[in-house]
Structure 1
Amino acid sequence: MRRAAEATARRAEAAGATAEAARARPAVGAVGILDARSRQTAPQIPPDSPTLADAIMVAAGDSHTCAIRHDGSLYCWGDNSFGQLGVPQATAVSSSTPVRVLFPASLGAATITQIALTERTTFAIDSQLRLWAWGNNETGLLANGSKDAMAHDTPAIVEDGAAPLLVRKIAPEWYSACALTSTSNIYCWGANFFSSLGPDARGEESLVPVKAFNFTATAGPRAVLARGIGSIGSCFSTGVAADGLRCWGAMGGGYILTNTPSSSEGGVNYSAHMPLIEAGATLPLSEISYGTNFGCARDDVGGLFCWGANNSSGQHGAEAPPPGTAAAIPGVWGPMSTGYVFVCAVDDQRQLRCRGSNDQGQLGRSTPMMGDNARLEPVVLGDGTALAKVVAVSAGFFHACAIVEGACGPTGPGQVLCWGKGTLGQLGDGAGTSSAVPVEVKAP
């Protein structure tokens, strides 16, 4: 009954419930997959380095975090209540420092190339394009044909029938996940709230991957697929400007940026089709990210556009754009990521700036800001200087992490810093406490 009540509350929140209701419910999922991709130069990291200084990708979830190291190994830290760290609970119920994910022998010589986190489930793509999943399986996120409330601490390959599902992108949310396959199909699985498995999906759930869409004719290697924290819906871009965004799922607060006709379930609008949407960009989109009832997209030349609700938290500043429209954020922007009700982006000086709710220090500033912050403000280090030379960022539920440039330059591996809520060890500094100041993640 408790899980059913939580699911009902979360579905209402994702569809546009009040900020008060959002604060009352338990913390839920997150996703973040931004990276500093390069393994061409060996990292110049001292063997006794006290910090995690050779990361090429970081992902912040609800209450756990993961990073891929230069050698393609995967380390996670934070909450392990469902085995989402990839180690047995007997080893760690939670960990405030990184632990290595224990893949089975079937990983072979493959390395990990991409990661995505949701509430208590972790996903990874390896160098052979195989998708791995572990952690919570209450709504069938592990895509193994079953669902249960047990801890699944061993990564398992997601299969399409008897063969591995080969994927280029993975995008999970609270109750379901979608993947862009190597053949440019989109497969989804899990709970089907508000047609989140695709406009043609039938039934309440699918415990195995089912084909949602086929974009073989248009989806190239630059295609982008996104879901996110607090979302029950998805958006997809083929990487071609004229194609815009194609979205489906819940539309609370204009979340999927459309005023086109929709269906209704319990008073909540959702897309029963897949509308073509102009996000305000005239160039191909290189990045899409979603928080709770809002989303942002970045185009090829650094234009940043956001839409959806403001949740009384200020992720849009003082005022949200009208429903169904996107507002441009002035400036030229690099990597960006949306959290629960906040957004972070790297500016043209390579400083990281954030805006929105700061109740847990997730903006990287000690000064509370909520609802009236028109600008993205710099994340500030302990010495008062701005966090600079940032090459990647991932915003989680109440915390965020970044990779800063290392000795190999902006295209090489770098150091991981995290800030915000840290009571379950998700900041990785060994303290197990929250911090509004970025802290260095310790070396494994």
Structure 2
Amino acid sequence: MCATSTREVYCWGGAQSNEVAYPKLVPLPAGEVTALSAGQTHSCAVLDRKAAYCWGTNAYGELGRGNTSADSYLAPAPVLQEGTSALPSNAVIEDIAAGLNSTCLIADAKGYCWGDNRRGAVGDDSVVQKTAPVRIAIDSAVPGGVPLISITGSSSESATQRYCAASETDVYCWGSTTNGGLGFSAGQAEQTTPIRIPGLPTGTAQSIDSEWESHCAIINGTSTCWGNGRGGKFGISELQPGYVAQNTVLPAGKTVIKSSGGEGQRCWLFTDGTLECAGNGALGALGRGDDRVSTPNLQPTLPGTPLLCEGQMLSDGRCTLAPGKTYFYRAYFTLGDWRSAMSPVTSLVGATP
């Protein structure tokens, strides 16, 4: 996992055979960190909206350097621009998403991806591995293309590699169709070009989150989810799988500003500073024992106002709380400063600087 303080990036957790138990400063050039994403085995940051830097593993070309490497860890280096890369040297980079063995970004309102493409995660109408940025084939979804504003990706396992990007009016997804993650029961192994997700409310998605088999978009203060909703993680009073877009059953009077999905659960952050979660509560992932909850359920009081909560695996996660502290909970690995092998939300502890 990684966090940024505007001009510095710190990461911690699994680093192949060498776990980083406490936040470690990432050696990046000077500049403002305008976007940051931590994937399964690599991470990326955007500096001054001009250049993307990635570090970690590069077995599939996910670092965007025009090659692959068997090394378990590579230090930060810029993603290729111009030359063998479709990404222009003067592009303004708005967002970046590091998934599992692949990466995508938004630059000048266009989508670019690279890395492992066996499940169509690069979105270029092929399943051929790419080691440098290529344009996603959004033109096949909308003639002439469509301006994109944000992007998110799944980083759980190779069978579920997919990305979703938002425009001002729609959300488009591509990659693995496993477990119905693109909003329909899988009839093929991959979707190699972006497809529009039907059934979303009218408006611009302020936030999109990706969980290993589902996604949710926050539009006009409401939450709509698609993919496999088993276990209640859509928050729709239903524990069984569902694939098409469905609206989360939110508490009366609540307005959502962000959602975040883990492996089997999802949390929603509201404008009043409260946090509610639904889905699989195994290992205390929902902060309320091991129950499954099918509608957003008020979480225990946190030591501050939550600004951001994210998690990748069962009972993993982090919550950034005002003023300026980050708290972590994780079941399997040491992250930051921890006190319990199975630490639920109610036992959050601060990270050691």
TM-score strictly above 0.5: yes
In the alignment, what sits opposite 1:133?
113
Structure 2, gaps ≥5 residues long: 8-25, 155-159
CA shift, 1:365, in A, is 1.5
Could you tell me how far apart the structure 2 residues matched to 1:113 and 1:307 are?
Answer: 31
Q: What residue in structure 2 maps to residue 218 of structure 1?
A: 202
Question: What's the secondary structure of 2:268's corresponding residue?
Answer: strand
Q: How far apart are residue 77 of structure 1 and its match?
A: 0.5
Residue number in structure 1 paired with 2:41: 63
For residues 228 and 145 of structure 2, the distance between their equivalents in structure 1, rounded to whole angstroms, comes to 30
1:253 corresponds to: 231
Aligned-partner Cα distance in 1 for 2:309–2:162: 23
171, 175, 188: which is aligned to 1:186?
171
1:327 aligns with 2:297: yes
Q: Map residues 313-324 of structure 1 onto 2, 5 A cutoff.
A: 314-317=284-287, 319-320=289-290, 322-324=292-294
Distance 1:100 1:372, change over 3 A: closer
Is the counterpart of residue 75 in structure 1 residue 53 in structure 2?
A: yes
CA offset at residue 90 of structure 1?
Answer: 5.8
- Percent of aligned pairs with the same amino acid: 21
- What secondary structure does 2:179 align onto? helix
Q: Which amino acid aligns with 2:280?
A: A
Which of 208, 212, 221 lines up with 2:193 in the alignment?
208
**Deviation at residue 102 of structure 1 after TM alignment:** 0.7
Match status 1:337 vs 2:320: no
CA contact (8 A) 1:188 1:198 kept: no
**Other structure's SS at 2:64 match:** coil
**Correspondence 1:274 to 2:245:** yes
Give the deviation of 1:132 after TM superposition: 0.7
Map residues 45-444 of structure 1 onto 2, 5 A cutoff: 54=31, 55-89=33-67, 93-104=71-82, 106=86, 107-126=88-107, 128-148=108-128, 150=129, 152-159=130-137, 160-161=139-140, 163-173=144-154, 174-182=160-168, 184-199=169-184, 203-213=188-198, 215=200, 218-220=202-204, 223-228=206-211, 231-240=212-221, 244-260=222-238, 269-280=240-251, 282-312=253-283, 314-317=284-287, 319-320=289-290, 322-329=292-299, 330-331=301-302, 332-341=305-314, 342-357=316-331, 359-362=332-335, 364-371=336-343, 374-381=346-353
How much has 1:271 moved relative to structure 2?
Answer: 1.0
C-alpha spacing 1:270/1:373, structure 2 compared with 1 (3 Å): closer
Aligned Cα root-mean-square deviation (Å): 3.0
Is contact 2:53-2:79 (8 Å) kept? yes
Change (3 A) 1:36 1:130: farther
Distance 1:277 1:53 in 2: 42
CA contact (8 A) 2:325 2:350 kept: yes
- The aligned amino acid for 2:191 is S
Listed as ranges, the gaps of 5+ residues in structure 1 are 1-29, 39-48, 262-268, 382-444
1:248-287 deviations in Å (ceiling 9; x for gaps): 22223322222348xxxxxxx4214322212447343221
CA offset at residue 296 of structure 1? 1.3
Deviation at 1:380, TM superposition (A): 1.9
- Give the partner amino acid of 2:203: A
C-alpha contact 2:60 2:68 (8 A) present in aligned 1: no
TM-score under structure 2 length normalisation = 0.79
CA contact (8 A) 1:352 1:379 kept: yes
Q: 1:166 Cα deviation (Å)?
A: 2.6
Contact 1:365-1:379 at 8 Å conserved across structures: yes
Change (3 A) 1:197 1:360: same
